[in-house]
């Protein structure tokens, strides 16, 4: 039997901790049934239950936030390692093949390609990079190109290699 992967473990922990946040229900219950807190016969138990629930909600909220950050960081590292074609397809979805064609024509799928002011997979100029972003990884460059693609009406007219998308 295989040991669970780190990804599975972190996601499972996050799910369990999120479910445990049902302590919030206890807090809400006492907030809407304040009479239980003022009743002399139940005040001690109700106050203790409310204090415990608030403490658990606070602790679990911090734990869930930390686990979500860990998942986000792990996913960001995975996306940063993607090869250019995989990164382009992950970002462009149904337009993957056309985007890969344009990027191949523009840069031969090289993230470090440069032609004057034009850089990266999609050879975006300095103005476009300021508007839509840029980065050292194929994923970051694909995201910037996708923003530009969407802003241009989902056509390839901004690129000189637009014929490669046809």
Span 68-95, pLDDT tens digits:
898 888 888 888 889 999 999 999 999 9
CB-CB contact of 35 with 19 (8 Å): no
In the chain, domain spans: 6-80, 84-165
Residue predicted with more confidence, 44 or 127 = 127
pLDDT band (50, 70, 90) for residue 8: low
Q: Out of 1.10.357.10, 3.40.50.1970, 3.40.50.620, 1.10.530.10, which CATH number does the structure's domain 84-165 have? A: 1.10.530.10
Between 26-30, 72-76, 107-111, the lowest mean confidence (pLDDT) is in: 26-30
Span 54-72, pLDDT tens digits:
888 888 888 888 888 988 8
* Residues with Cβ within 8 Å of residue 162, at least 6 apart in sequence: 102, 155, 156
Residue predicted with more confidence, 39 or 124 = 124
The single residue listed with the structure tokens 């473990």 is: 9
Span 111-162, pLDDT tens digits:
999 999 999 999 999 999 999 999 999 999 999 999 999 999 999 999 988 7
CA separation for the pair 56, 21 (Å, rounded) = 8
């Amino acid at each position: 039997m295989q040991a669970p992967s780190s990804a599975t473990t972190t996601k499972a922990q996050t799910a369990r901790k999120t479910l445990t946040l049902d302590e919030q229900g206890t807090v809400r219950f006492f907030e809407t049934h304040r009479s239980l807190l003022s009743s002399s016969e139940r005040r001690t138990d109700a106050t203790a239950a409310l204090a415990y629930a608030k403490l658990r909600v606070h602790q679990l909220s911090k734990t869930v936030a930390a686990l979500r950050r860990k998942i986000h960081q792990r996913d960001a590292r995975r996306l940063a390692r993607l090869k250019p074609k995989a990164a382009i397809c992950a970002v462009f979805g149904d337009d993957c093949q056309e985007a890969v064609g344009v990027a191949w024509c523009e840069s031969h799928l090289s993230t470090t390609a440069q032609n004057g002011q034009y850089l990266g997979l999609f050879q975006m100029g300095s103005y476009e990079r300021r508007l839509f972003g840029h980065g050292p990884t194929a994923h970051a460059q694909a995201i910037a190109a996708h923003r530009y693609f969407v802003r241009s009406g989902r056509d390839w007219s901004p690129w000189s290699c637009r014929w490669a998308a046809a």
